[in-house]
Structure formats: C-alpha cells, structure tokens
Amino acid sequence: MTFVRGLQNLHCLEEKSVVTIGSFDGVHIGHQAILQQVKEAAERLQVPSVAMTFEPQPREYFSAERAPARLMRLREKIDTLLATGVDRVVCLQFNRQLRNLSADDFVEQVLVRGLGVQSLIVGDDFHFGCDRRGDFALLTEQGKRYGFDVQDTATVEVDGCRVSSTLVREVVERADFTRAAELLGRPFSISGVVGYGQQLGRELGFPTANVQLNRFSAPLSGVFAVKVNVAGSIYRGAANVGLRPTVGDLLKPILEVHLLDFAGDLYGQRIVVEFVHKIRDEEKFTSLEKLVATISHDVEMIREWFLQADRLASG
C-alpha cells in the first residue's frame, strides 16, 4: 500500500489501475462500500486499486471559511483509506493549476496518462473540470476513446437515509455518537499530535493535552466525556472542543483533553480521542474562578457518567 502526493509524482505509476475519486471525508460506510467495489474490480483485472482525493477539498478551495466542517484531517483520511486495503491513495493539491484543467485535460493528463485508468468507479452525480463539462456521460464517452470503462458507485442506506459525509456531520454535531459509529463503521474520533499551549489548564489545576485542529470549524463543539488512546493504552478523560471564549485567545477551534487519573508528559505524542457523551455546550464565563468551578463540576459529571456506563455494561 502506497501514498502518492502531487500531480508531478503520477509518472511513477506505470501500470493500469482501477480508480475512484472523491473527498472521502470521514471514510464512512458508504465510502467503504465504494472502496470494496474498487478492490473487487481491481482483483478481477489483476491491477492496483486507487483512491484519489484532493487537498484542500474543492469546497474548501472555493468557499474557505464557509466550507462545511471537516470530519477528519488529511493524515487521518489517508491512514483510514489505506486501512481499507486499497493499494494506493493519491492526493492531488487542489490549486489554480488543477482548478484550471478542462474536463478533457483532466481525463487525459490525470486519469489516462497519470493513473493508467482501466476502470473508473464514480457516482453518476460526479462533476469536474473548469468548464463544468465533466460528468458521468463525458467520462463514459472518453472511456470509449481511451479504452477504460466507467461504473456507477454503490449506494448505502441506513434506515432509509443515504449515508453521506453531510449526514455524518449532522449526527456528530448533535452528539449522537452511537448513530455516528453506525454510519462510520467505527467510533467517531479525532487524532493528532499533542502540542504546547499556554499551559492555562495546568495553572487552573486541570492540565490538558492540546491538539490543534488546523481548520476554521469543527464538526462538534462543547465539553465531552472521551476515551483517549495513548500509545495503545486507553484513558478516560474530559475534552473541550471550541474557541475558549472565556480566555478569548483563539480564531480557530482547538481540542483540549484532560485525562482522568493520569500523570505524565504527552507532548509530541499522537493521541486518538474517541467521543462518547456530550456534557454541555461551550460557555463564556465572567471570571476564571467560575470557569474553574464549572470544569471541576464537568469532571465529576464525567466520572459519574463512566461509572454508570460501567454498571450498565456489567449488567
């Protein structure tokens, strides 16, 4: 399994392939069904399977701050795509050069010459190219010209609803983590490397591991009970996702996690934070004293929530 980044690096792929294209935000069970379809076709044809995505996502390129909140950052997406078993993940930078490619040039330069596409699997609502001519019909026509076939993607529904990144985003936003896990095929989590902050949490008596989200908005906000994977060990914790309105020092949201019953240095470590229950929305307090009192109450509520969960699990 390999990761290839950049249009300029496609020349190293000197064989035919089965390709699918998408943003793959969340890599939910709908995406997983498409990737399974791609792998099965690649196995029949005895060629590599390829998932191609873009960074930034096209909607982010065109809409910037108005784009929907991401479910996962690029590294999480690449790791999750590779974990599905596709042979290659290709990520192209969505920039002016790519944006200005016509639909015909995209097919010739990227799909045919770059990826050696033998079979392409995309949704019938897929559009591309600066001239907006790129659609399922054009791909089918170009496939006849260049010798590749085009197949529609599989559709997955849960309780009569088509699974999509938009649906997952809505479910996560309302903190329905049981439903989110059903749509994702795994618990909803955010991962990242713990960085240095202002160490305000330590000063307030609740040291936190800070993970920069590096995005204008997050798919959820507030205070949560979480499970945190640190180098394979699982800890319980209290997490805040937001802008810290009481301190008022942030323009982009950050993930702050206070691990219960933990002592140690997490700086520089990659952690995975699984969200299990929402405690409250983020609030702005009139003083740090009120903030500390509320955090203390949050931590006690989270401890009690985990105790109740343990009791239910034990029958």
Residue boundaries of the structural domains of the chain: 2-158, 188-313
CA–CA separation, 252 vs 287, rounded Å? Answer: 22
At residue 15, the pLDDT reads 82
pLDDT tens digit sequence for 124-147:
788 888 877 889 999 999 999 999
Closest CA to 123 of 181, 164, 62, 94: 164
Question: Check: CATH 2.40.30.30 for 188-313?
Answer: yes
At residue 198, the pLDDT reads 64
pLDDT tens digit sequence for 189-239:
999 999 986 666 566 668 889 999 888 789 999 999 999 999 999 999 999
Q: Which long-range contacts (CB under 8 A, 24 or more apart) does 11-14 make?
A: 11/114, 13/50, 13/88, 13/90, 13/114, 13/115, 13/116, 14/116
CATH class as words, domain 2-158: alpha beta
At residue 6, the pLDDT reads 86
Structure-token match 């989590």, residue found: 189
- Digits of tens for pLDDT over the chain (315 positions)? 689 898 878 876 668 999 999 999 999 999 999 999 999 999 999 999 999 999 998 888 888 778 889 999 999 999 999 999 999 999 999 999 999 999 999 999 999 999 999 999 998 788 888 877 889 999 999 999 999 999 999 789 999 999 999 999 999 999 999 999 999 999 999 999 999 866 665 666 688 899 998 887 899 999 999 999 999 999 999 999 998 777 666 678 899 999 998 888 899 999 999 999 999 999 988 888 898 899 999 999 999 999 999 999 887
CA–CA separation, 207 vs 200, rounded Å? Answer: 8
How is the chain split among helix, strand and coil, in percent rounded to 5? 35, 25, 35
CA–CA separation, 91 vs 40, rounded Å? Answer: 22
Contact in structure between 211 and 190 (CB atoms under 8 Å): yes
